Amino acid sequence: MKAFGFFILGFAALASVAANAQTQSPLAAAGDAAVAQEIRGWLDRWTKAVSAKDVDRVMELYTDDVVAYDVVPPLQYVGKAAYRADYQQFFSQYDSDLHVETRDLHVGASGEFGYASGLQMISGTLKHGQKSGMWVRFTSLYRKVNGKWLDFHDHVSVPVEIESGKALLDLKP
């Protein structure tokens, strides 16, 4: 029940951000556009670091207390050390080519908090030579720390066919 309450609270916060974006003055909207551009810049840096499989550059983009829900076990990663290990395991499965494509990107912010959500294709060649690629859904939450946007919450998922419990990895946008 607590999880449902947090879901409703989070949904209300995002709805509030969206409502504020629609009712703010043109000057505030210009500020929002600048913030959205900063978050898009964060995504650009993340994409380049992931493509390079540079775990140090990736981890510079996260808060120490990051909480992440990834498509691989466990159910959650708490803290930078745990999330670093997740990224290292992920990177170790691929040869040098790793590609990220983002579509249907939504970005917003209010005050010291921001978000990005959309779809991402993660593709590359696995160590044993097999090509790999799948679309995932992502939501990232950011907060401003010492003038920089840092990610404090990631959620990555794939659709699941409920009856079989199998992940649907071949869907395309």
The two tokens of residue 31 are 């500020």
What pLDDT is attached to residue 96? 76
pLDDT in tens, 70-112: 999 999 999 999 999 999 999 999 997 899 999 999 999 988 9
Please report whether residue 172 resides in a domain: no
Residue 55: CATH number of its domain: 3.10.450.50
**Cα distance between residue 156 and residue 77, in whole Å:** 12
Rounded to the nearest 5°, which phi and psi values hold at 166? -90, 140
What pLDDT is attached to residue 13? 42
Sorted by sequence, the CB contacts under 8 Å of residue 107 that are 6+ apart come out as 36, 39, 40, 114, 115, 116
Structural domain tally of the chain?
1
Please report whether residue 126 resides in a domain: yes
pLDDT in tens, 17-75: 444 444 343 334 556 788 889 999 999 999 999 999 999 999 999 999 999 999 999 99
pTM: 0.80
**Cα distance between residue 78 and residue 87, in whole Å:** 13
| Residue 132 belongs to domain spanning | 2-167
Beta bridge pairs of residue 113? 110, 143
**Cα distance between residue 17 and residue 139, in whole Å:** 15
Please report whether residue 132 resides in a domain: yes
